[in-house]
Amino acid sequence: METSTQDPWQPTAAPEVAALAERPLPIRFTGSGSEYFRIWIVNLLLSIVTLSLYRPWAKVRRLRYFYANTLVDGHAFDFHGNPWKMLRGYVLVGLMLIAYSAAGRFSATAALVAVAILAVLWPALLRASMQFRLGNTSWRGLRFRFTGSLAGAYACMLPMFIPAFAMAMLRFEIVDPQHPTMTYIKHIYLVMFASALVAPLMWWLFKRYQHDHYSLGQWQTRLTIGAGRMYGLSLRVFGVFLLSLIVVLIVVAIVAGAAGALAAVNGHAPSLAANKPLWMVLIVVGVLAMYFLMLIVPVPYAMSRSQNLIWSSTRCDELRFDSKLPFGALLGLTLKNWLLMIVTLGLYWPFAAVAFYRLRIEALTPQLSGDLDRLQAQAAARVTDASGDAAGDLFGIDIGL
């Protein structure tokens, strides 16, 4: 960051440049980890003391800090959400989530009903979440909008539930749960294989729904790639995952071999079975470690490549995006964050969050070919229900940045 001679406060070029010549609108993040730590720790304390009812205020403070420090062409974002309204939505969605997770404890039928209800509500909730977040975000005094329709949300998301539905239907094939028939097993594999085959298509449908409907003033984005590019990306991600898996399996084989040799030398008899919870804990820790090793490389890879592919293919008539998020830097940062998170028992999180956000957001450069001063609000921004925001929060939905 020190090598950059660019002053983040100043716009880069004079506005008199011919309308069609592109000029970059560089993004700078000016926040600091230590300041976010101070905000985070106080937010956390208040959230615990109030049994999490403070969360909406904490979220507004966090977003306003990140937004006020995200400068696009020298101008910051602002967040307009009202914490009181967000609290209402938060409580509502919280109750729904408790009911949902409780349902699974009591009976399989209740769980199935809960999944069905969620499937029906999910697309509407997701759309509400996008509308809320964008409708309450502004740049240069103009509010963003999410213009996707409700029908569009259902059209792109309901197909995602087909595999789960097919699996549920297949259960009726089983007569004796102890001895599932070969046809049943074949059908399960068939459904799984088919789901994997259409997953990139689903992903593309979803991303297209999002990136076709971001709007600011008269600008309206669209996603310019077809599903084929998503298949290419998915294949590469899958390849990286397979490589990691092979490496992990080799490591596991070596460790198991070494442990076996050690036990043989010491002549110990296996008594772990006698201490069943210890045995269970060992298994859980082992599985977590394997899971970690398996994902530590593919996740940053997928993140950098998909951000680059999707945002570089997002454009309006007068604006397009360049995303150059390097995989190596993201992997290095991920490893560093994990290490410091563990060493500091989680207190490093605000620093990790700031570093991560900075790397991802600064990798993005909007390229403007129109005139910013002609940008103006279209219709009066409709304020949307804040329960969408809480839903987005609880189910981990975001705009991918």
Partner 1 sequence: MTQAASDSAPDAPAPGGVAADYFDGRHAKAHAVRVHVEADQLAIAGDGVHYSVPLAGLRWPERTRHGVRILQLPDGASLHCRDSLAWDTWSAAAAGRRDSLVVRVQQRWKWVWISTLVLVCLIGVSYKHLLPWAARAVVAVTPESADVAVGDAALSQIDDAGVMLPTTLSAARQEAVRTAFAQAVARLPSDVPKYRLEFRKSTIGPNAFALPGGAIVLTDDLYERVDGDKDILTGVLGHELGHLRHRHGMRMLVQAGVLSAAAGAVYGDFSTLFAQIPVLLGQASYSRDAEHEADVDAVRLMRANGISPAVMARFFEKIRQPRPGEKTDGTGPGPQMPIAIASHPADADRIRFFEQAAQER
Residues 276-295 that bind partner 1 (CB under 8 A): 276-278, 280-282, 284-285, 288, 291-292, 295
Minimum distance from residue 334 beta carbon to partner 1 (Å): 9
Site residue total, partner 1 (CB under 8 A): 83
14-33 binders of partner 1 (CB under 8 A): 30-32
336 binds partner 1 (CB under 8 A): no
382 binds partner 1 (CB under 8 A): no
78 binds partner 1 (CB under 8 A): yes
52 binds partner 1 (CB under 8 A): yes
Angle between helices 182-211 and 150-157 (to 10 degrees): 150
230-269 binders of partner 1 (CB under 8 A): 259-260, 262-264, 266, 268-269
Angle between helices 349-362 and 327-343 (to 10 degrees): 170
Find the Cα–Cα–Cα–Cα dihedral 146, 149, 155, 156, rounded to 10°. Answer: 0
Sequence letter at residue 252? V
Residue 350's contacts (CB-CB under 8 Å, 6 or more residues apart) are: 33, 36, 37, 39, 40, 41
Q: Which of 22, 27, 47, 201 is close enough to bind partner 1 by CB under 8 A?
A: 47
Minimum distance from residue 30 beta carbon to partner 1 (Å): 5
217 binds partner 1 (CB under 8 A): yes
136 binds partner 1 (CB under 8 A): no
Q: Which of 172, 274, 328, 382 is close enough to bind partner 1 by CB under 8 A?
A: 274
* Token pair 């399996």: residue: 249
Closest CA to 391 of 57, 172, 127: 127
Q: DSSP letter for 143, please.
A: E
13 binds partner 1 (CB under 8 A): no
Q: Which is nearer to partner 1, 120 or 280 (CB)?
A: 280
Find the Cα–Cα–Cα–Cα dihedral 326, 330, 332, 335, rounded to 10°. Answer: -160
Minimum distance from residue 252 beta carbon to partner 1 (Å): 13
Q: Which is nearer to partner 1, 44 or 227 (CB)?
A: 44
Strand partners of residue 214? 146
64 binds partner 1 (CB under 8 A): yes
161-190 binders of partner 1 (CB under 8 A): 177-178
Minimum distance from residue 309 beta carbon to partner 1 (Å): 23
Extract the tokens encoding 145. Answer: 């909008």
112 binds partner 1 (CB under 8 A): no
Question: Do 44 and 38 contact (CB within 8 A), yes or no?
Answer: no
Question: Do 368 and 111 contact (CB within 8 A), yes or no?
Answer: no
First-to-last alpha carbon distance for the chain, in angstroms, is 20
75 binds partner 1 (CB under 8 A): yes
Question: Do 367 and 23 contact (CB within 8 A), yes or no?
Answer: yes
Cα angle, residue 371 at apex, residues 369 and 377 outer, rounded to 5°: 120
Closest CA to 52 of 90, 79, 84: 90
376 binds partner 1 (CB under 8 A): yes
Minimum distance from residue 264 beta carbon to partner 1 (Å): 6
Order of strands, sheet of 137-139, starting from the edge strand that comes earlier in the sequence: 27-29, 70-72, 75-79, 137-139, 142-146, 214-216, 219-220
Q: Which is nearer to partner 1, 104 or 228 (CB)?
A: 104
338-367 binders of partner 1 (CB under 8 A): 338, 341, 346-347, 349, 352-353
Stretch that binds partner 1, among 36-44, 120-128, 193-201, 223-231 (CB under 8 A): 36-44
109 binds partner 1 (CB under 8 A): no
Minimum distance from residue 176 beta carbon to partner 1 (Å): 11
Q: Which of 197, 243, 272, 401 is close enough to bind partner 1 by CB under 8 A?
A: 272
The H or E element spanning position 320 is: strand 319-323
